[in-house]
Each structure stands twice: as C-alpha cells, then as structure tokens.
Structure 1
Amino acid sequence: MTESTSPTREVRGSHRVAGLLTLVEAVAVLGFAGFYVYEMVTGATEDLTRAATSGALILVFGLGLLALTRGWVRAADWPRTPTVLWNALLLPVAWSLHESDRTPVAVAVAVVAVASIGAAVSAPGRRDQAADEGGSREGGETQDPRTGGTGGRGADDRLS
C-alpha cells in the first residue's frame, strides 16, 4: 500500500491534533486488549473463548488506530474518513455510558470523539493545499476552487 503524501507536503496543526487524539484512543483501546489478556492469564474470566475473541477484536481496532495515527503524522489524505467514522461510532458509546451512570467517562469519550472529528474535518487535504498554492497543477492547468475541476472546457461547457 502506498502513502498519498508528497515530499513537499507539510504536517499542519490539525494533522498533529488528529494524530495525537487518535494515538490517545489507540492507547486506550490497546489497554482494554491488555486487560483481556490479564483476565485470561489470571483466570478471572469464566469464558476463555469469549475473552480471547474480544481481546483479539479489540487488538485489531487498536492496531488500526495506530495505522491512522501514522497516516496523520505523515499528513496522508486517507485517514480522514476512517477517523470520522470511528469517532462517530464512539458517540453512541458515550451516550450508553451516560445512561449507565458512568457520566465522567461518557463525557471524556464524547469530548475526545467530537474533538477528533473536528480535527479530522479541518485537516487540509490535497485539494485544499492545491488551492492554497494558487491552484496550479501539473501540465499548466489551473484548478477551479469552486468545483475542484480544471480550468479547461469540458464536454458540458462547449458552446453549440
């Protein structure tokens, strides 16, 4: 898999914030995976199969969050959508925690989720950076900032 970054691509503050928040989430999720391992080792779980399955699934999510963190640190374009999706799914989790009288934890989860969504959405993508650099693209074409298309005439723009 190739990264969609260029050597001139700069890591901005919103990339750093999104990466940091995603790293915090990854550490928390990996901590839960470690908790399942601890339960299995100490014999605290009654169902070893369920604990192993849950621990493995949570480990996969933790590793995925670490991959997202790496993408944010490298100012890649691809982490935006999975970050927004993951954090949108955390909002019902926060509500559920609130409903089960774990309000401080619910507030923490909700705040991190909303902040992560905000950082991911505000991080500039490839199109945003092209517009910042004056809209120039390879081949001498200019990009229309309103549509994201090139300045040349397309089939829909021709006069009859």
Structure 2
Amino acid sequence: MPARPVPSQPSRPGGGDRRSPLLTLLGVLVLLEAALLVAGAAYLLHGLLVEDATEPVAAGFLVLTALLFAAGVAFCARGLLRRATWARSPVVVWQLLQLAAGLPAFSGGAPWLGLVLALPAAVVLVGLFLPSVDAQISR
C-alpha cells in the first residue's frame, strides 16, 4: 500500500519558516534590556544588603519590581523571537517608557545612561515597524 502524502505545514505569513536577522537582533536587544533590569536589581540589592538602607522595605519592593519587569520583558522578547503577534504591543510600550526615562539623562549629567536606555529603545521601536519585521510578526 503506497504511503499517503503528509500535508505540509502552512508557512508563516510574509516570511516563510526562517526568522529574519533583523527580528533576531530586535529580540536579542529586548533580552539585553531584561538583563540590564536584572543587573539594576542586583545593584539595588547590593546597596540594600551592604549599606544601611534608610527605607529597607521600599528598597526591597523596588528590587522585586525590577525583577518582575525583567521577567515580563524577557517573556515578551521570547514572544518576539517566536514571531508572536501579541509581543509587539508590550515591547513598544516598554521602549516608550525606556525613552521617557533615558532622554532626561542627557541633560541630567549622565549622558552614558541616556545612551544605554535610549539608543536600544529607538532601534527596537524603529525596527518593529520595518516592513520585513512587520511581515513576520503580523497575521
């Protein structure tokens, strides 16, 4: 008895089965932002444990909040890397929040912090709406 042909899986709209290098770069940048949040939480925790914190409960809550945000951002980066349509909206919101935090740092005496926050956010924001990326994560 001849074997029946197996129906092929439908390819993803606009991009076949391979993820574009630009979408991979954007996902990796968002993962790096999550890693920076973890590093910030570690820095805050170090200050809480080593130095005398005037408000230890508030500092502990800030560490917990940073870790929760890091988990959320990492989850959204994973969604981007898997080309999930839902991942674009929270990533856009996060990039806008990062820009809002990073731009004042340029005039506040910490331009390096402004670059660390604003540059990846701008790259991700622009990249998410380029046609090649849009075709891969839109349905």
Query: Identity of aligned pairs, percent?
Result: 21
Max Rg structure = 1
Residue in structure 2 matched with residue 121 of structure 1 by the alignment: 129
Per the normalisation by structure 1, the TM-score is 0.69
Corresponding residue of 2:90: 82
1:113 partner amino acid: A
TM-score (normalizing by structure 2) = 0.78
For residue 32 of structure 1, the aligned residue among 37, 40, 45 is: 40
Unaligned 5+ residue runs, structure 2?
1-8
Aligned length: 122
The reply on whether 1:60 has 2:72 as its aligned counterpart is no
Q: Shift of the alpha carbon at 1:36?
A: 1.9
Residue 41 (str. 1) matches residue 49 (str. 2): yes
Matches of 1:98 and 1:69, distance apart in 2: 27
Residue equivalent to 2:118:
110
Judging changes above 3 Å, is the alpha-carbon distance between structure 1 residues 63 and 7 closer, same or farther for their aligned structure 2 residues?
A: farther
* Deviation for aligned residue 1:56: 0.8
The 8 Å contact of residues 94 and 110 in structure 1, kept in 2 or not, is answered as yes
CA RMSD of aligned residues (A): 1.8
Give, in angstroms, the shift of residue 110 of structure 1.
Answer: 1.4
C-alpha distance in structure 1 between counterparts of 2:40 and 2:81, whole Å: 24
Higher helix share: 2
Residues in 2 aligned to 1:37 and 1:52: alpha-carbon distance in whole angstroms: 7
Q: Which has the higher contact order (CA 8 A, sep 6+)?
A: 2
